[in-house]
Structure 1
Amino acid sequence: MIIKKIFNNNAILAKDSKKQEIVIMGRGVGFKKSVGDEVDENLIEKTFILKQKDASEKFKLLLEDIPTEHVSLCYDIIEYANNILSVELNDYIYVTLTDHISYALKLFEEGLNRPNALIWEIKKFYPKEFEIGLKALEFIEDETNKRLPEDEAGNIALHLINAQTNISSNKVEDIAHQTKMIQDILNIIKYTYNIALNEKSLNYERFVTHLRFFFQRLNKNEKMEKEEDDFLLKQVRTKYKKAYECMLKIQKYLEKELSDEEQLYLTIHIQRVTQR
Structure 2
Amino acid sequence: MIIKKIFNNNAIVVKDSDKHEYVVMGCGIAFKKSPGEKVDESLIEKTFILKQKDASEKFKLLLEDIPSEYVSLCYDIIEYAKNILDVELNDYIYVTFTDHINNAIKLFDSGISTSNPLIWEIKKFYPKEFKVGLKALEFIEDELGKQLPEDEAANIALHLINAQGNVSNNKIDITRQTKMVRDILNIVKYTYNIVLDEKSINYERFVTHLRFFFQRLGQKEREDSEDDFLLRQVKAKYKKAYNCMLRIQKYLEISLSSEEQLYLTVHIQRVTQRN
Q: Tell me, yes or no, whether TM beats 0.5.
A: yes
* Matched residue, 1:89: 89
The equivalences for 1:34-73 within 5 A come to 34-73=34-73
Give the secondary-structure state (helix, strand or coil) at the position aligned to 1:65: coil
- The answer on 1:5 being equivalent to 2:8 is no
* Matched residue, 1:78: 78
Where does the alignment leave 5 or more consecutive residues of structure 2 unmatched?
A: 184-275
- Distance change >3 Å, CA 29–CA 110, structure 1 → 2: same
* Matched residue, 1:98: 98
Distance (whole Å) between structure 2 residues aligned to residue 140 and residue 217 of structure 1: 26
RMSD of aligned residue pairs (Cα, Å): 2.1
Check whether the contact 1:88–1:166 (CA below 8 A) recurs between aligned residues: no
Distance (whole Å) between structure 1 residues aligned to residue 179 and residue 85 of structure 2: 28
Distance (whole Å) between structure 1 residues aligned to residue 146 and residue 176 of structure 2: 32
* Matched residue, 2:116: 116
Distance (whole Å) between structure 2 residues aligned to residue 2 and residue 41 of structure 1: 10
Distance (whole Å) between structure 2 residues aligned to residue 166 and residue 58 of structure 1: 18
- The answer on 1:22 being equivalent to 2:28 is no
**Structure 2: which amino acid aligns with 1:51?**
K
Check whether the contact 2:161–2:174 (CA below 8 A) recurs between aligned residues: no
* Matched residue, 2:192: none
- Distance change >3 Å, CA 83–CA 217, structure 1 → 2: closer
Distance (whole Å) between structure 1 residues aligned to residue 18 and residue 136 of structure 2: 34
Distance (whole Å) between structure 2 residues aligned to residue 143 and residue 113 of structure 1: 21
* Matched residue, 1:150: 150
Q: How many residues are treated as equivalent by the alignment?
A: 183
The percent identity for this pair of structures is 74
Check whether the contact 2:162–2:174 (CA below 8 A) recurs between aligned residues: no
CA offset at residue 86 of structure 1?
Answer: 2.1
TM-score norm. by structure 1 comes to 0.62
* Matched residue, 1:199: none
- Distance change >3 Å, CA 214–CA 118, structure 1 → 2: closer
Asked which structure has the greater CA Rg, the reply is 2
CA offset at residue 217 of structure 1?
Answer: 6.7
**Structure 1: which amino acid aligns with 2:31?**
F
Query: Deviation per CA, 1:50-72, whole angstroms, max 9, x where unpaired?
Result: 00111101100010011000000
Distance (whole Å) between structure 2 residues aligned to residue 96 and residue 53 of structure 1: 15
* Matched residue, 1:32: 32
Check whether the contact 1:87–1:166 (CA below 8 A) recurs between aligned residues: no
CA offset at residue 219 of structure 1?
Answer: 6.1
Distance (whole Å) between structure 2 residues aligned to residue 60 and residue 68 of structure 1: 12
- Distance change >3 Å, CA 213–CA 111, structure 1 → 2: farther
Give the secondary-structure state (helix, strand or coil) at the position aligned to 1:113: coil
Check whether the contact 2:3–2:36 (CA below 8 A) recurs between aligned residues: yes
Distance (whole Å) between structure 1 residues aligned to residue 59 and residue 166 of structure 2: 22
| Structure 1 runs of 4+ with >2 Å offset | 212-222
Distance (whole Å) between structure 1 residues aligned to residue 166 and residue 99 of structure 2: 23
Distance (whole Å) between structure 2 residues aligned to residue 46 and residue 156 of structure 1: 21
**Structure 2: which amino acid aligns with 1:52?**
Q
Report which stretch shifted further, 24-33 or 155-164.
24-33
Distance (whole Å) between structure 2 residues aligned to residue 215 and residue 153 of structure 1: 18
Query: Deviation per CA, 1:15-41, whole angstroms, max 9, x where unpaired?
Result: 111211110101111111111000011
Distance (whole Å) between structure 1 residues aligned to residue 134 and residue 178 of structure 2: 23
**Structure 1: which amino acid aligns with 2:55?**
A
- Distance change >3 Å, CA 217–CA 105, structure 1 → 2: same
Give the secondary-structure state (helix, strand or coil) at the position aligned to 2:12: strand
TM-score norm. by structure 2 comes to 0.63
Distance (whole Å) between structure 2 residues aligned to residue 214 and residue 108 of structure 1: 22
**Structure 1: which amino acid aligns with 2:93?**
I
Check whether the contact 2:158–2:174 (CA below 8 A) recurs between aligned residues: no
Give the secondary-structure state (helix, strand or coil) at the position aligned to 2:54: helix
- Distance change >3 Å, CA 58–CA 214, structure 1 → 2: same
* Matched residue, 1:141: 141
- Distance change >3 Å, CA 214–CA 122, structure 1 → 2: closer
**Structure 1: which amino acid aligns with 2:115?**
P
